[in-house]
Amino acid sequence: MSPTLYLAEQLIACRSVTPEDGGCQRIIRERLAPLRFEFHEIVSGPADFRVTNLWALRRGSDPGAPMLAFAGHTDVVPTGPLEQWRSDPFVPTHREGRLYGRGAADMKTSLAAMVVAVERFVVQHAGHRGGIAFLLTSDEEGPANDGTVKLVEWLRAQGIRLDACIVGEPTSVDKLGDMIKNGRRGSLSGRLTVRGVQGHIAYPHLARNPIHLAAPALAELAAIEWDRGNTYFPPTSFQVSNIHGGTGATNVIPGELVIDFNFRFCTESTPESLRARVHAVLDRHGLAYDLAWTLGGQPFLTPVGTLSEAVVGAIHAVTGLSTELSTTGGTSDGRFIAAICPQVIELGPVNASIHKIDEWVEVASIEPLAEIYRGVLERFVA
């Protein structure tokens, strides 16, 4: 068994559904301790939702040389119905060249590959110039209020600024390394409550139907071109996710309508501009409404530079592929790290099975992933 596969299996066997770490960070810490890493643990969150965060740092021989951090999460999403899994999700299992288990793709294999890559690199470059760090959390798949954001706050308070960061999110599409993320769109959600007047459906003149009132405004919002995107990002999108109105009775006009919607926005728009444009539409239609906003994350972008060149070069050296830089997909903890790090790249295994029943990763891709991470270290901190 390869060292990376062995460590991946150890981590998958840890039952670490958010916010539980399940012992993953202890295993990783034990592997890094002989390499003279310094550790700082931050436990955060309420008593019924305790989150474990770990910062680990190995200093380079040159204080002026760049620091590269590996970031990731040890928590996983819930398994779903156990009876639908072909094998226990927390018992690493091999079938037809794949390693199965919750977190196999998202993202315990990445964490194992990062650790092994660092071990191999340090053996070859004990006096490496740049620093190497790890940012680990057990609150990425959950609300993310007490995870990486807390580590970033602590690092900022310590005056620590990273030069580059690789997040181990599963970014590959068909083959390992065929796509990496050099940015992500922002996420802005709204809950719109439109107020009407409840009444009997046979006497509409005595009521005000909030569904009828909101429909024209909603149609206008859905038709707006918010921006045209840019070289790196697709256009900002507006999507309605939930609509609820009515009492359940067929003869009652509802008194209010609740609509949930979300923007995935690029760097051509801002939360402020999107909020202002939505309110302008609602006000123009004369609606009586309340609107609560939630900013899930700002967009971030890493233009082509030293980190992307190192990652692209390492991928080509190991796989022969010419990787694609992309900003598609959902949010990640990269949005928090970008606040203290000018270059953030996401790179990990194929993402076809993430969050699914029988999550898996190709066994043949596990060692190459470790070698890609090691290659980035060679190019960036040696």
Phi, psi angle pair for 357, to nearest 5°: -60, 140
How far, rounded to the nearest angstrom, does the alpha carbon of residue 331 sit from its chain's CA centroid?
5
28, with CB counted inside 10 A (0-12, 13-18, 19+), is buried
Please give the Cα distance from 103 to 11 (Å, whole number): 8
Strands 67-73 and 131-137: parallel
Instruction: Enter the tokens of residue 253.
Output: 């006009």
From the candidates 20, 21, 75, 169, which is the catalytic residue? Answer: 75
75 catalytic? Reply is yes
140 catalytic? Reply is yes
8 A C-beta contact, residue 149 and residue 336: yes
Half-sphere exposure of 87 (CA within 13 A, CB side): 15
Neighbours of 63 (CB within 10 A): 10
Phi, psi angle pair for 65, to nearest 5°: -80, 155
From the candidates 20, 140, 141, 378, which is the catalytic residue? Answer: 140
Instruction: Enter the tokens of residue 307.
Output: 């980190």
Instruction: Enter the tokens of residue 303.
Output: 């233009």
8 A C-beta contact, residue 253 and residue 201: yes
Please give the Cα distance from 171 to 110 (Å, whole number): 11
The residue type found at 139 is: D
Q: What positions carry a catalytic annotation?
A: 75, 140
